[in-house]
Amino acid sequence: MDGILAVWKPAGWTSHDVVAKVRGITKVKRIGHTGTLDPAVTGVLPLCIGRATRVVEYVQERPKSYEAVMQFGLATDTEDLTGNVTKELPSVELSESEIRRVLASFIGEIEQVPPMYSAVRVDGKRLYELAREGQVIERKTRKVTIYSLDLLDMQLDQPHPTIRFSVECSKGTYIRTLCVDIGQALGVPAVMAQLTRTMSGGFSKEQCLTLDQIAELHAAGELEGKLTPSDVALDHFPRATVSMENVQRAFQGKRIYLNALLEHEAFGPNSIIRVYGVDDSFVGLFQQDEESATLKAVKVFTKTGE
C-alpha cells in the first residue's frame, strides 16, 4: 500500500494518535504525517503511506489554510483557550474598520516568535517541555508568509468580542501567535478560541476521510483505491519527460542531461523537477545542476522498489 491518504483529524486526537490508528487499521508500519495539529484542532491531515513517506518533506512544505476564531480581551500562557488566563479585560470595544485594517497589515512576510507551548527545539529540548517546567526562555523570531487573510464573521457586541477569519500561510506559521499579534496590533490581549485546518499538502476537506470511513473502506478492500499517488501531491514542482533510455539511466544512479528532456514545463536555476518516462511513469524528483547542465537525482522511484 503506497500513496497519500487525506484524513480528517477529529478533536481530542494528536497527529500521532491518528497515525497509530491508521497503522492499526491497515497493518502498514511505514506511515508519516505531514504536519502536526494540536489535539484540540480539527482538520486536514495528509498521511504518507509506504514509499510515499519519502516525499513527506515536500508535501508539508506546501501552503496550508485554516479557519480560526479569535477572542479579544483575554491572554493565556498557551495563546489559546486551553491555557491559564494571564490577563483579562472587563470589556473590549473594537470597530470593523480597524479590524480590517489590522488584518490587511499582516498579509505578506511577517516575523513570529514561536509560542512556549510548541514543538520547536531549543538546545535539544522542546519548548513545551520547558513551559511545563515553568520556564519561559527567549526565542528567535522566524519569518513566515501570510498569503491571504480574510474576515469571515464578527461578534463585536459582547464584552469579549470574537472574529472568525480564514488564512492561507506558509509552513511553520503559528495561528495562535498570529491571533496574539493581531490583538497586540489592536492594543488588546487576544487568544485563539478555535482552529480548523481546511487545506494541507494540496488536499482539501472534501478529499478527506474520517477514521470510521477508513476502517470501513479497508474492511471492504476498497481503501487502497482512495490513496493519492505521491507525484500528484508534488504537482507544485515543474514536470519534465524523458526517454525510457534515460529512465534506465536514472535508475542506475546516472544524471540526465538537460538537452535530453523531451518536454518540460518552465523551471529556474536549481529547481526541483518531477521527471516522467514517455509511458507516463513517475521516475522521481531531480534538481537542476547549472554547472554540468544536468538533472541530479533527489528521490528516485522505481516500479518494483525504491
Q: What is the pLDDT of residues 86-125, one digit of tens each?
A: 999 999 999 999 999 999 999 999 999 876 565 666 666 6
Tell me, yes or no, whether 262 and 296 share the same domain. yes
Question: CATH code at 245?
Answer: 2.30.130.10
Say if 181 falls within a structural domain: yes
Q: Distance of CA 41 to CAs 68, 110, 197, 262, 285, Å?
A: 10, 23, 8, 46, 32
Which one from 2, 38, 157, 235 is the annotated catalytic residue? 38
Cα separation, 115 vs 203, whole angstroms: 27
Select from 146, 180, 200 the last residue of a domain. 200
pLDDT-derived band at 139 (thresholds 50, 70, 90) equals low
Q: Is residue 32 part of a domain?
A: yes
* 184 in a structural domain: yes
306 is a domain residue: no
Residue 115 and residue 221 in one domain: no
Is there a single domain that holds both residue 163 and residue 283? no
Concatenating the DSSP letter of every residue in the chain gives --EEEEEEEPTT--HHHHHHHHHHHH----EEESS---TT-EEEEEEEEGGGGGGHHHHTTS-EEEEEEEEESEEESSSBTTS-EEEE-S-----HHHHHHHHHHTSEEEEEPPPSSS--EETTEEHHHHHHTT-------EEEEEEEEEEEEEE-SSSS-EEEEEEEE-TT--HHHHHHHHHHHHTS-EEEEEEEEEEETTEEGGG-B-HHHHHHHHHTT-SGGGPBPGGGGGTTS-EEEE-HHHHHHHHTT--EEGGG-SEE----TT-EEEEEETT--EEEEEEEETTTTEEEEEEE--SS--
Indicate whether 294 and 244 sit together in one domain: yes
Same domain? 57 vs 68: no
Mean pLDDT of 147-172: 96
Tell whether 176 and 214 lie within a shared domain. no
Instruction: Judge whether residue 305 has pLDDT over 50.
Output: no
CATH label of the domain that carries residue 40: 3.30.2350.10
Summarize the confidence of residues 185-193 as an average pLDDT.
97
Q: Among all chains, which residue has been given the C-alpha cell 489590522?
A: 102
Q: Is residue 124 part of a domain?
A: yes
Per-residue pLDDT, averaged over 9-26, amounts to 95
14 and 89 part of one domain: no
Residues 77 and 189 in one domain: yes
Residue 94 sits at φ, ψ, to 5 deg, of -135, 150
For residue 64, give the C-alpha cell: 496550508
Residues 219 and 296 in one domain: no
Is residue 161 located within the same domain as residue 129?
Answer: yes
Q: What is the pTM of this model?
A: 0.88
| Digit-coded pLDDT (tens) for 44-96 | 999 999 999 999 999 999 999 999 999 999 999 989 998 899 999 999 999 99
Active site residue 38: yes
256 near 245, Cβ under 8 Å?
no
Counted domains in the chain: 3
Confidence of residue 240 (pLDDT cuts 50, 70, 90): very high
Q: Which residue segment(s) compose the domain that 14 sits in?
A: 3-61+202-231
Residues 190 and 95 in one domain: yes
Q: What is the pLDDT of residue 119?
A: 61
Is the pLDDT score of 304 beyond 50? no
**Spatial CA neighbour of 254 closest among 215, 226, 277, 286:** 286
Residues 13, 60 contacting (CB under 8 angstroms): no
What percent of the chain is modeled with pLDDT above 90?
72
Does residue 248 sit within a domain? yes
* Tens digits of residue pLDDT in 194-224: 999 999 999 999 999 999 999 999 999 999 9
209 and 261 housed in the same domain: no
**Mean pLDDT value of segment 157-166:** 97
